């Protein structure tokens, strides 16, 4: 991944910063320039709470190349308590915890490395809350 | 706006792993087949649907490339991209050029050459149809996204893995009668369920394959169709398209494909046809769950009832809702940019009564549904034989 | 100026492996390892955990216990480790970014084998005491590796503890510090090598014990205090035996050492070892308690600290997960194969 792009995404990947529409209050993660609900163009920066719940999930058994050492791993669509939905890996779970409705929390984790010599991509993953 | 007709259709001889053919060869073979089928000697303009010539073959500027190799320079030639709906979107672009009066004879083709790159690289290229930054970054693959759609659908409606498998079984049964299909072998529910898991609960046989292939159609104004055409012309009654959020997680309903529902509603309105007046459907079964969700989005069954309908055999050739008589993406193959155009080819041949063993008896009106990514774009066409 | 800890937090991975599981693969005698090391099992970082990820979560917990600290007011962040993810690019910059402490902050990574964490604490606290910064953060974190089949494989584990220092809202004052070091080649790792080497029994008396005793005796003399004055003593814990023996030699009792003695089920968290022992002690300490902490890092040296717990401790202990709770709550046990994959001792072939 280009390092410039990774760096640009730190506020979201590292600090869960979202944009809240100044007119209708809709939360956007990642931030947007125009609200798709009301068309307004001004936003407030807010940090999302780290908690949410699983809406759907799967276990990836045939991973993409940068993740080949990690399979199998679970991925879920998580609805954050503040509203936005994200797609994220789900880790450190035991049997009975991979289900729709499971409460989760985001933790700072390594996502993948760009080979042996490239940069390390950090971001968020969900763990059982 | 003028009415538009299809007067020629073509595909390259067979879809699959075409080691000896380059992307240009495959496209030209299909385009010439369509030109011959139409009986025209030139085109005024062309569109080429192709998802990712760049990532699969290192080649962009595909419109000009294909105009050149088809010997059609200096006509305008544009490559259209909408991920897996590139073909359908190209047809819509061609439709608009004829409907607007700008051109009379328009070639619309679709092509993808996917087998030159490694499996990893092909997977990467396909994942670019999803949200690169906020979905693919997590390691969720394309099958993974559809697997999550399946899990949500199963949770809400009780759809079963056997019902998903039934889609693949039916499509292979149809594809076994299609001489152009990549995988014309019959399979059983057991074959599907005992194949390796790719992303729970989807098995490898729930997923459409990697394919090289191309398809093409020739469009012209409907009022000149009968005069120009060698074979029965087919009118395009509706050509519609809709978009939705790029990321699956942002969809309003995680168990539905809203862009298809919207494009279909506009198509039913534009054509004046209701689902029960349509004789066959070619839909985008990139994964078995997709076919079930599309059936519901098209209004062919009630929400959540797609699975039971397939299991009960209601979507077989000869049943009440024939879906994917061609074998669908699953059995026929899925060269991404070509699929949307190939769906049109199948419907035209069916409406002409030229589909041999897989003919839907008495078909007069057909619908194609082509979609990109996890449903961020959908294109619907409704065709009627003239 | 009275300076001390204003917030503290830890982060331990969920996964574990037992001594029996490792011994089974190498044909070693598990009971004698367990007895000799006084260690039963250790923590294992998941493939997506490293010094940076563990430090970020530990720092978040420390901030939870110091709600008055605005990360923008943190003037220094020092992560000490012997398994920093990059050879060149400080772990501390990612942590600073993650907690929102950039850009007006001094960041440097520290290395001194197992005492890199206490070094970070030593320097961060010093800058606050000098009046140069308002708050400073020192973190000890490691995901160190033991070579397959080597004695260190039974104990090398992972964990992080973070401490925020300041002059207001202090929960434990730092009354004295002392650092004691020599050039002692007991344990080292050359650039480019995956695993460290060690000098066997030489790592004991001339190394661990000489420096631990040296630093502790010096700080006791400097402060005029005696072992019985302390409620708790935390020593570097590479195995279960060394800290207990050092404590006994110095005149501390088993009871004083036990609360911060995590190694029997955590393993040796290297730069996290004595800092995590301290966090476990702070989790249960009472106002007025005096704590002795002495780290040890091979190469060699020890940093000693004397703390006095304040009234405020009671208000913060419950604001973040406690160290022993993280150690004991619902761990996930691994077999050796999965453990080897997690620790990158075996890699999928690159074809």
Of the candidates C349, C335, C324, C291, the residue with the CA atom closest to the CA atom of residue C15: C335
Of B131, B150, B199, the CB nearest to A61: B199
C294 is catalytic: no
CA angle C111, C116, C117 (to 5 degrees): 140
Q: CB-based contacts of C200: which residues, under 8 Å, 6+ apart?
A: none
Q: Which residue in this structure is represented by tokens 């380059």?
A: B22
Q: CB-based contacts of B169: which residues, under 8 Å, 6+ apart?
A: B186, B187, B188, B189, B192
Q: Using an 8 Å CB-CB cutoff, list chain B residues near A90.
A: none
- Looking at residue C192, what is its pLDDT? 87
Beta-carbon count within 10 A of C115 CB: 35
Per-residue pLDDT at C341 exceeds 70: yes
Q: Which residues of A98-109 are buried (b: 16+ CB within 10 A; e: fewer)?
A: bebebebebbbb
Q: Do A89 and B139 touch (CB under 8 A)?
A: yes
Cα-Cα-Cα-Cα dihedral of A60, A61, A66, A70, to 10°?
Answer: 90
Strand partners, A53: A79, A103
Of the candidates B137, B250, C330, the residue with the CA atom closest to the CA atom of residue A89: B137
Angstrom distance (rounded) from CA B106 to CA B96: 10
Per-residue pLDDT at B282 exceeds 90: yes
- Looking at residue C19, what is its pLDDT? 97
- Looking at residue C1, what is its pLDDT? 81
Q: Does B141 touch chain A (CB under 8 A)?
A: yes
- Looking at residue B278, what is its pLDDT? 98
> Quick check: do C4-171+314-342 and C173-309 share a fold?
yes
* Average predicted confidence (pLDDT) for chain B: 97
Tell me the CATH number of domain B4-118+211-234, given options 3.40.50.2000, 3.40.47.10, 3.40.50.1000, 3.30.950.10: 3.40.47.10
Question: How is residue B15 written in tokens?
Answer: 């879809």
Looking at the domain covering C4-171+314-342, what would its CATH class be?
A: alpha beta
Question: How is residue B318 written in tokens?
Answer: 């000869």
Looking at the domain covering C173-309, what would its CATH class be?
A: alpha beta
Per-residue confidence at B337, pLDDT binned at 50, 70, 90?
A: very high
| pLDDT < 70 stretches in chain A | none
Please identify among residues 42-61 of chain C the ones whose CB lies closer than 8 Å to any CB of chain A. Answer: 46-50, 52-53, 56-57, 60
Per-residue confidence at C348, pLDDT binned at 50, 70, 90?
A: confident
Q: Do B140 and A60 touch (CB under 8 A)?
A: yes
Strand partners, A105: A51, A127
Residue range C244-277, pLDDT digits in tens: 999 999 999 999 999 999 999 999 999 999 999 9
C82 is catalytic: yes
Give the SS3 label for residue B168: helix
- Inter-chain contacts counted by CB atoms under 8 A, chains A and C: 52
Question: Tell me, what's the ipTM?
Answer: 0.96
Kindly state the percentage of chain B with pLDDT values over 90: 98
Q: Give me the phi and psi of A114, to 5 degrees please.
A: -85, 75
Question: Best interface-test mutation with C: which of A72, A88, A108 has the largest number of C CBs within 10 A?
Answer: A108
Q: Where are the domains of chain B?
A: 4-118+211-234, 129-210+235-385
Per-residue pLDDT at C212 exceeds 70: yes
Under a CB-based contact definition with an 8 Å cutoff, are residues A65 and A48 in contact? no
Length of chain C (residues): 351
Q: List subunits contacting chain A, requiring 3 or more Cβ pairs under 8 Å.
A: B, C
Per-residue pLDDT at C347 exceeds 90: no
Name all domains of chain A by residue range, CATH numbers in brackets: 3-128 (2.40.50.840)
Cis, peptide link before residue B32, omega less than 30° from 0: no
Helix B142-157 / helix B119-127 crossing angle, nearest 10 deg: 60
Containing H/E element for C128?
helix C116-129
Tell me the CATH number of domain B129-210+235-385, given options 3.40.47.10, 2.60.40.10, 3.30.70.360, 3.30.1490.20: 3.40.47.10
Q: Where are the domains of chain C?
A: 4-171+314-342, 173-309
Angstrom distance (rounded) from CA C66 to CA C99: 13
Q: Using an 8 Å CB-CB cutoff, list chain A residues near C56.
A: 14, 108
Question: How is residue B118 written in tokens?
Answer: 């490694």
**Strand C299-309 to C158-166 pairing:** unpaired
- Looking at residue C351, what is its pLDDT? 63
Residue range B148-179, pLDDT digits in tens: 999 999 999 999 999 999 999 999 999 999 99
Residue range B190-246, pLDDT digits in tens: 999 999 999 999 999 999 999 999 999 999 999 999 999 889 999 999 999 999 999
Containing H/E element for B31?
helix B23-38
B61 is catalytic: no
Q: Which residue in this structure is represented by tokens 């939360």?
A: A27
C25: left (phi over 0), alpha (psi -120 to 50) or beta: alpha
Of the candidates B352, B100, B326, the residue with the CA atom closest to the CA atom of residue B229: B352
Give the SS3 label for residue C156: strand
- Inter-chain contacts counted by CB atoms under 8 A, chains A and B: 96
* Average predicted confidence (pLDDT) for chain C: 96
Per-residue pLDDT at C166 exceeds 90: yes
């Amino acid at each position: 991944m280009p390092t410039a792009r990774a760096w640009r995404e730190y506020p979201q990947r590292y600090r869960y910063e979202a944009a809240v529409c100044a007119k209708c209050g809709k939360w956007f993660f990642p931030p947007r320039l125009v609200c798709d609900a009301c068309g307004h163009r001004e936003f407030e920066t807010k940090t999302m709470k780290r908690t949410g719940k699983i809406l759907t999930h799967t276990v990836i058994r045939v991973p993409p190349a940068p993740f080949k050492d990690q399979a199998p791993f679970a991925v879920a669509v998580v609805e954050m308590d503040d509203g936005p939905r994200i797609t994220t890996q789900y880790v450190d779970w035991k049997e009975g915890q991979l289900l729709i409705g499971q409460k989760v929390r985001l933790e700072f984790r390594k996502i993948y490395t760009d080979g042996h010599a490239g940069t390390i991509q950090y971001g968020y993953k969900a763990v059982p809350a | 706006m003028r009415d538009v007709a299809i007067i020629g259709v073509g595909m390259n001889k067979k879809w699959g792993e075409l080691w000896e053919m380059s992307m240009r060869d495959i496209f030209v073979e299909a385009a010439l087949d369509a030109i011959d089928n139409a009986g025209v000697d030139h085109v005024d303009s062309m569109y080429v649907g192709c998802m990712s010539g760049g990532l699969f073959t290192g080649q962009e500027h595909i419109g000009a490339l294909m105009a050149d190799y088809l010997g059609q320079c200096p006509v305008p030639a544009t490559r259209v991209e909408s991920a897996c709906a590139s073909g359908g979107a190209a047809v819509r672009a061609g439709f608009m050029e004829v409907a607007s009066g700008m051109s009379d004879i328009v070639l619309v083709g679709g092509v993808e050459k996917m087998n030159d790159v490694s499996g990893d690289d092909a997977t990467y290229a396909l994942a670019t149809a999803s949200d690169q930054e906020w979905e693919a970054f997590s390691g969720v693959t394309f099958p993974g996204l559809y697997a999550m759609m399946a899990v949500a659908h199963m949770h809400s409606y009780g759809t079963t893995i056997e019902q998903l498998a039934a889609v693949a079984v039916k499509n292979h049964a149809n594809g076994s009668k299609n001489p152009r299909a990549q995988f014309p072998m019959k399979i059983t529910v057991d074959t599907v369920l005992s194949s390796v898991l790719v992303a729970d609960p989807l098995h490898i046989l729930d997923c459409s394959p990697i394919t090289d292939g191309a398809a093409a159609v020739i469009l012209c104004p409907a009022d000149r169709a009968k005069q120009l055409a060698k074979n029965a012309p087919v009118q395009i009654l509706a050509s519609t398209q809709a978009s939705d959020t790029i990321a699956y997680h942002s969809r309003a309903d995680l168990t539905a494909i809203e862009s298809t529902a919207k494009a279909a509603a506009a198509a039913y309105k534009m054509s004046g046809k209701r689902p029960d007046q349509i004789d066959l459907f070619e839909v985008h079964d990139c994964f078995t769950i997709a076919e079930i969700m599309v059936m519901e989005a098209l209004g062919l069954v009630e929400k959540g009832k797609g699975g039971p309908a397939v299991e009960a055999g209601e979507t077989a050739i000869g049943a009440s809702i024939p879906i994917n008589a061609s074998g669908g993406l699953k059995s026929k193959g899925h060269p991404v940019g070509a699929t949307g155009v190939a769906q049109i080819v199948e419907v035209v041949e069916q409406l002409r009564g030229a589909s041999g063993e897989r003919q839907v008896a008495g078909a007069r009106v057909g619908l194609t549904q082509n979609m990109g990514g996890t449903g961020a774009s959908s294109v619907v066409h409704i065709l009627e034989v003239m | 100026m009275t300076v001390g800890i204003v917030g503290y937090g830890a982060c331990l991975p969920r996964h574990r492996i037992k001594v029996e599981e490792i011994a089974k693969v190498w044909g070693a005698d598990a009971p004698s390892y367990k007895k000799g090391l006084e260690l039963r099992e250790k923590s294992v970082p998941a493939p997506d955990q490293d010094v940076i990820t563990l430090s970020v979560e530990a720092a978040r917990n420390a901030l939870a216990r110091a709600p008055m600290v605005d990360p923008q007011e943190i003037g220094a962040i020092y992560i000490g480790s012997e398994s920093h993810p990059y050879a060149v690019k400080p772990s501390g910059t990612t942590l600073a970014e993650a907690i929102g402490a950039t850009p007006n902050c001094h960041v440097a990574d520290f290395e001194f084998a197992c005492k890199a964490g206490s070094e970070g604490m030593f320097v961060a606290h010093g800058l606050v005491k000098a009046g140069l910064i308002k708050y400073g953060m020192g973190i000890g974190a490691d995901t160190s590796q033991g070579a397959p089949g080597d004695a260190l494989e039974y104990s090398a584990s992972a964990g992080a503890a973070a401490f925020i220092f300041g002059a207001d809202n202090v929960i434990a004052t730092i009354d004295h510090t002392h650092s004691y070091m020599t050039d002692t080649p007991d344990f080292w790792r050359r650039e480019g090598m995956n695993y460290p080497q060690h000098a066997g029994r030489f790592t004991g008396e001339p190394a661990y014990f000489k420096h631990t005793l040296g630093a502790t005796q010096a700080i006791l003399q400097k402060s005029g205090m005696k072992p019985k004055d302390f409620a708790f003593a935390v020593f570097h814990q590479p195995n279960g035996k060394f800290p207990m023996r050092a404590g006994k030699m110095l005149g501390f009792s088993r009871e004083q050492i036990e609360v911060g003695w995590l190694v029997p089920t955590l393993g040796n968290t290297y730069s996290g070892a004595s800092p995590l022992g301290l966090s476990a002690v702070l989790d249960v300490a009472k106002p007025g308690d005096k704590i002795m902490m002495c780290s040890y890092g091979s190469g060699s040296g020890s940093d000693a600290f004397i703390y006095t717990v304040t009234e405020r401790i009671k208000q913060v202990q419950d604001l973040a997960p406690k160290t022993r709770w993280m150690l004991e709550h619902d761990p996930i046990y691994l077999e050796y194969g999965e453990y080897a994959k997690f620790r990158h001792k075996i890699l999928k072939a690159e074809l």
